[in-house]
């Protein structure tokens, strides 16, 4: 049967809890669709720091396993236990960002889908979203202020100053815009480019470049919003958006907002993609929930596993080419929600809801896969 290699990096906090359930779902679709994944389970983040006596959050063996894989299934990293370590070895800066950079994963797709049966969990006025909504946020992931140099801290005139640099090469803007335009072509053909061109030089180049790349995609209707206005319009009229494209930090912030208006951060998966694999329409990628390790609920068995499960579906779709299995997972999740299964983050207390924990939600999804 078809065999693939994946690296499984559960990480910290709720990461291992939601990963366990996700691997059960993966087992089920493998059996159903006749393929199999060889899984290399590796340490990352705080878990790796603990295992190595605070030497590194990203052991060489982990990077090697990822290099030898067809794609990475990632949980989340970080937490209070590690946030006072030297910045370079903290889970986020020492593992997650280096992994994205190492594999050139410049395109982060974050689908913000509010299912019609979940509009009640959205803080947006329900009369504005009778059918729910479906927005795709395309976030640039390996540039901008996250990675720009100079970056640092020094003394000037007797006091500490700290600085980061927001920098974009034109080629970096072009390639992420092409990903976003291509995504828009496969959907509603509307693209909103989000920037701060009234203040930032990097945004002026971003907007100019968006207008140029638009000529390659005449069927797509391109518009621009300043990021502050975009944050506001997303709450006001989420249903009017199709695809959003923006730089790294703006995308980080807007995608959490998008997650919340679609019901919960626990629902939002993501795919971080690089270039296409040679001679193929598939990508090497890393797949992770848009949210984090949720230390406030970790260890209680109550985290919503859906973001992680849908991330696995994205892995199947973009890196393994198993799109039937990916569709089946998406459909099973939607049916499970329609049937009223709710983890705490999406529950309202209504009598029709079936209140479940992490494992119970996965059980319900598995039942719907059959």
Q: What residue ranges bind ligand NAD (CB under 6 A)?
A: 14, 76-79, 92, 96, 265-266, 288, 291-297, 303-304, 307, 345
Smallest gap from Cβ 256 to Mn ion, in A, equals 6
CB within 8 Å of 206: residues ≥ 6 apart: 168, 173, 193, 195, 197, 247
- The response to whether 82 counts as a known ligand-binding position is yes
Smallest gap from Cβ 279 to ligand NAD, in A, equals 31
Task: Find the binding residues for Mn ion in span 245-274 (CB under 5 A).
Answer: 252
Task: Indicate if 228 belongs to the active site.
Answer: yes
21, 358 Cβ separation under 8 angstroms: yes
Query: How would you classify the pairing of strands 243-246 and 133-140?
Result: parallel
Residues in the chain: 370
CB within 8 Å of 290: residues ≥ 6 apart: 110, 255, 256, 259, 265, 268, 269, 270, 307
- The response to whether 298 counts as a known ligand-binding position is yes
Q: Measured from the CB atom, is 179 or 268 closer to ligand NAD? A: 268
Task: Indicate if 256 belongs to the active site.
Answer: yes
- The response to whether 321 counts as a known ligand-binding position is no
Smallest gap from Cβ 45 to ligand NAD, in A, equals 7
Cβ-in-10-Å burial (0-12, 13-18, 19+) of 352 comes to exposed
- The response to whether 83 counts as a known ligand-binding position is yes
Dump the DSSP string for 219-235.
TSEEEEEEHHHHHHHHH
CB within 8 Å of 153: residues ≥ 6 apart: 160, 161, 162, 163
- The response to whether 295 counts as a known ligand-binding position is yes
Smallest gap from Cβ 27 to ligand NAD, in A, equals 20
Q: Measured from the CB atom, is 70 or 252 closer to Mn ion? A: 252
Three-class SS state of 110: strand
Q: Measured from the CB atom, is 28 or 294 closer to ligand NAD? A: 294
Query: Vertex 209, ends 287 and 269: CA angle to 5°?
Result: 15
Task: Indicate if 27 belongs to the active site.
Answer: no
Smallest gap from Cβ 347 to ligand NAD, in A, equals 11
Which residues is 125 bridged to in the sheet? none
Pick the catalytic residue: 12, 70, 195, 252?
252
Which residues of the shown chain bind ligand IPM in the complex (CB under 6 A)?
Answer: 78, 92, 96-97, 252, 290, 292
Pick the catalytic residue: 196, 283, 287, 341?
196
Check binding of 12 to Mn ion (CB under 5 A): no
Q: Output the known binding site.
A: 79-92, 100, 110, 139, 228, 252, 256, 292-304
Residues near Mn ion, by CB under 5 A: 252
Q: Output the known binding site for substrate.
A: 100, 110, 139, 228
Q: Output the known binding site for NAD(+).
A: 79-92, 292-304
């Amino acid at each position: 049967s078809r065999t693939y290699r994946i690296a499984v990096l559960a990480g910290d906090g709720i990461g291992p809890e939601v990963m366990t359930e996700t691997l059960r779902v993966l087992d089920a679709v493998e059996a159903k669709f006749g393929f199999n994944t060889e899984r290399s389970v590796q340490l990352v983040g705080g878990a790796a720091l603990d295992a190595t006596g605070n030497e590194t959050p990203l052991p060489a063996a982990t990077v090697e396993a990822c290099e030898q894989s067809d794609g990475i299934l990632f949980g989340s990293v970080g937490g209070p236990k590690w946030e006072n370590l030297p910045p370079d070895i903290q889970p986020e800066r020492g593992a997650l960002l280096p992994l994205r950079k190492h594999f050139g994963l410049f395109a982060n797709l974050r689908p913000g889908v509010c299912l019609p049966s979940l509009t009640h969990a959205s803080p947006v006025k329900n009369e504005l979203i009778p059918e729910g909504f479906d927005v795709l946020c395309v976030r640039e992931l390996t540039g901008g202020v996250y990675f720009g140099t100079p970056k640092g801290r020094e003394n000037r005139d007797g006091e500490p100053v700290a600085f980061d640099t927001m920098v974009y090469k034109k080629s970096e803007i072009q390639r992420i815009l092409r990903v976003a335009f291509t995504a828009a072509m496969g959907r509603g053909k509307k693209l909103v480019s989000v920037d701060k061109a009234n203040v930032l030089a990097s945004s002026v180049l971003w907007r100019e470049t968006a207008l140029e790349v638009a000529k390659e995609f005449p069927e797509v209707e391109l518009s621009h919003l300043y990021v502050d206005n975009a944050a506001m319009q997303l709450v006001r009229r989420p249903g009017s958006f199709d695809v959003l494209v923006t730089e790294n930090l703006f995308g980080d912030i807007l995608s959490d907002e998008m997650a919340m208006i679609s019901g919960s951060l626990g629902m939002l998966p993501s795919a971080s993609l690089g270039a296409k694999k040679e001679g193929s329409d598939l990508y090497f990628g890393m797949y992770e929930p848009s949210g984090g390790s949720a230390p406030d609920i970790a260890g209680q068995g109550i985290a919503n596993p859906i973001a992680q499960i849908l991330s696995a579906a994205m892995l199947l779709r973009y890196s393994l080419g198993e799109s039937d299995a990916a569709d089946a997972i998406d459909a099973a999740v939607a049916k499970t929600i329609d049937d009223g299964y709710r983890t705490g983050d999406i529950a309202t207390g209504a009598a029709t809801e079936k209140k479940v924990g992490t494992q119970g939600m996965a059980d319900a999804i598995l039942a719907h896969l059959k």
